[in-house]
Amino acid sequence: MGQRKDVKLEDIAKELGISIVSVSNVLNGRKGVSEGLRERVLEKAQQLGYIMASPAGFQEESWRIGIIVAERYIKEYPSFYMEIYRQIASILTRKGNKTVLEVVDEGREKLLYSRPPFADTKLHGVIVIGEMHLGYIKKFGKALGIPVVCVDFYRAEGGVDYIAVDSFHGMQFVTQQLIDYGHKKIGFIGTVHATGSIMDRYMGYCKALRVNGLQEHEEWVIDDREKDGYGYLIDFELPEQLPTAFVCNCDKSAYILIDKLRRRGLRVPEDISVAGFDNFYPAVGKEQELLTYESDWKAMAQVSVNTLLRRIIGKEPPGGVRILEGSVSVGDSARKL
């Protein structure tokens, strides 16, 4: 299969500000190109519609890719991880690959009973969406013996690739925005030990407070789910005395918070400011645009697919953790004091 006539190597090179030789090296799978530049070239080629015949373009063979997501992440609608799954599946399909989805319930994830994933299905690689029990990942990864890419979380353990959003700095930036607005009493909504992502966001919130000489108040750090990470319902109770602003570990918690504040007769942002994280919650709350950190989840899906297919074709070792930056979206849920 040849490339589109209207897209040339020099088009890709010009877009990225690099040499045609570098583009050619990437698209033909040659060495001598950094991992970061290789990723940028492949993504730009995909965006411009350049279809490659070489293995670097992932078109020579059709791979069967398993996708795993924990049941707890998709029990409520809308589901952030189901949207990521749809994006990943769409990208893989466009590249000529097949996908098999496996939804893992709590018992299997905790290894309370054994049932191997993708039984009797030959796979070439696996993508795990959302943080899962470490023992489960280790067990199936060793059993399958194929490349694994984990999406939207990371761990210190090696042997797989991790593609994650910048939770720590993202929440630091959002909290700093509130501080710049004049807020000195800021709470945090999120169960800190439920997931690694929430913990990172909490630590980013704490750093923003500390570098500005502000105090964290224990009564304003509020759990919104079960501490073990398996409770999928998000809810919480607010104390009588409130800060002037809250940052929430996700947009869903932020919109639940806004509803609870309104039931108290409080206005957002006139009486209290609210910030979220992810810029994803399409079904509700459109009358209030959040101050939030916008995760580029489409880029996360694209990078995850490209990483896995490179591992399958090139047999390269896992590259460790890759953090993808997002940006602050100001919205209208917070005001200057």
Residue 129: pLDDT band with limits 50, 70, 90 = very high
* 53/252 Cα distance (integer angstroms): 43
CA dihedral 224, 229, 233, 237 (to 10 degrees): -20
Reported as a single tens digit per residue, the pLDDT across 134-172 is 777 777 766 677 889 999 999 877 778 999 999 999 999
Output the pLDDT for position 59: 44
Distance linking the first and last C-alpha atoms of the chain: 60
**Over 50: is that where the pLDDT of 2 sits?**
no
Q: How many residues does the chain have?
A: 337
Residues whose CB is less than 8 angstroms from the CB of residue 290 and which lie 6 or more positions away in sequence, other chains included: 251, 254, 255, 274, 275, 276, 279, 329, 331, 333
Residues whose CB is less than 8 angstroms from the CB of residue 47 and which lie 6 or more positions away in sequence, other chains included: none
Across 327-334, average pLDDT: 94
Residue 81: pLDDT band with limits 50, 70, 90 = confident
Across 219-245, average pLDDT: 89
Across 247-268, average pLDDT: 95
Output the pLDDT for position 283: 45
* Closest alpha carbon to 129 in 197, 69, 195, 194: 69
- pTM greater than the 0.95 cutoff: no
195 against 288, higher pLDDT: 195
Element (H, E) at 103: strand 98-104
